[in-house]
Amino acid sequence: MFEWKLALEAIGMVIYATFMGFIFMGIERKAMARIQRRVGPPIYQPIIDTLKLLGKKESVSHGFIYDFGPVFALGASIAALLFIPLANFQLFSSNADLIVVAYLLEVPMLGIMLGAMSSGNPYSAVGVQRGLLTMVAMQLPYGLALIAIAQYWGTFKLNSIVALQQLHGWSITVPALLLAFIVFDIVFQAMLGLEPFDIITAPAEISMGPMVEYGGKHAALLFTQHAVQLFAETAFFAVLFLGGASNLLELLIKQIAVLFIAIFIASIYPRFTIDQAAKFFWKWPTILGIIAVILAGW
Amino acid sequence: MGGDFISYELKEFKLFEPLFRWARKKSIWLVAFCTGCGGIEMPPLVTARYDIERFGMMPNPAPRMADLFLITGYVTPKTLKRIIITYELMPDPKYILAHGSCPINGGVYWDSYNVVKQLDKYIPIDVAIAGCMPRPEAVMDGIREIMRKIENGEADGWRRYRENYEWYRKNQDELFGEGWRERDAKRWLAWL
């Protein structure tokens, strides 16, 4: 039997997440502008940008894989979103949500890389190489932070992690998980592609990195994907460390708090080069992560 | 190289056209390609004093995503080749804002042997700002003008370029000689 309620909930959740993701991107640009003492664009600017890209009269394609890349990325983002317990909605559930979501949040990057590589642009190739190296570098501390979480709460199910946090206090009040929080926050900058680790789309160096050849409708699809991804990643962060939420408003406040930490870090620090980033990831966050795992096991 | 590149034109939806025009007006992305001396006038525009990001304008390094091409200052034949190639990379609709006297009539380089005197013969210009150099206020005025033209649908340089392509192509070939695209492409990408 086809479950109408589940389908409607999923569609509503995707629309809500896309809209709020665009607003988050607007907040990001506006807050950066205010920090640099500019007026900044209106908060709904990313929606206008996406509309404009959809309204382009011409679109350039380099073949099937090029078209397939953004669709693949958007699909993975939406799948990750539906596994995360957003307030009292969790549409899909399994025994190992944590692992599924952690991997699904990495997949969109691979989709973009797939599409970018098929365009044959040298800037795309450099961007893809940097992106893959950043991913390899950040997997280790990212995995350690997640292991610390799973070790301390003794479960891989995201909704039991939320329930346990509401019973025993948020994750960040536990010393071991506070260290994991710091590690995850450093990795989070790289996941969002923000400043100290925005080596992938380094705008002044390699044009736009993997996105250089995308224009028109493809770019609009990538913008939508970025919005959903931003929403899903901030929600994942809030669920793991800030005690989840019982309604969407509470979740929204926590997501915006997480977003502002990322924006402030991004507006202060300059960009790492790729070798510095890899060295950094394999040094300090890894050490902190190992300490967090050991402490969480006690 | 011939077959692996598909460019398709999309149908125009009359119903949504006003919405798209409004969106195009409110979100103009610039190509970050500064020719000549006007490039130095750009930092005041994007920084705190005149902040063009409040109109949704943003310097964008990738020509595939860009809408507005700012020609900032004099154009030599060597730069013009790059300008034409970058302009043809941009997807329709696309606009050109010529900045200063030099793209209009040569300006102070009116008798130079190596400056393109009238840019409008090679690529279509939508709005030209006179002055040498125009101050940021004048550039802001030009930006308001192009926003007005986009909203009224008068900024149709891309359509003129598409319809009169033979004429523009003839002028370009007169300046650079036949087959200059292939020659230049071979120089940059030796394996072609």
Domain boundaries, chain A: 4-297
The dihedral sign for the CA sequence B84, B89, B93, B95: negative
Q: How confident is the model at residue A224 (pLDDT cuts 50, 70, 90)?
A: very high
- Alpha-carbon distance values, A268 to A36, A134, A179, B180 (Å): 10, 20, 22, 46
Residue B142 has pLDDT above 80, yes or no: yes
Does B24 contact A59 at a Cβ distance shorter than 8 Å? no
B4: nearest CA partner in chain A: A62
Residue A35 has pLDDT above 60, yes or no: yes
Q: What is the CATH number of domain B18-189?
A: 3.40.50.12280
Instruction: Report phi then psi at B8, rounded to 5.
Output: -125, 145
Does B16 contact A55 at a Cβ distance shorter than 8 Å? yes
Does B47 contact A216 at a Cβ distance shorter than 8 Å? no
Q: What is the mean pLDDT of residues A153-178?
A: 84
Whether this model's pTM surpasses 0.90? no
pLDDT in tens, B149-176: 988 888 888 888 888 888 988 888 888 8
Query: Domain segments of chain B: what residues?
Result: 18-189
Residue B55 has pLDDT above 60, yes or no: yes
Cβ-based neighbour number of residue A170 at 10 Å: 16
Chain A residue numbers touching B19 (CB-CB < 8 A): 51, 55
Does B54 contact A55 at a Cβ distance shorter than 8 Å? no
Does B10 contact A52 at a Cβ distance shorter than 8 Å? no
Tell me how close the Cα of A213 comes to any Cα of chain B, in angstroms: 6
Q: How confident is the model at residue B3 (pLDDT cuts 50, 70, 90)?
A: very low
Tokens of A272: 């790492």
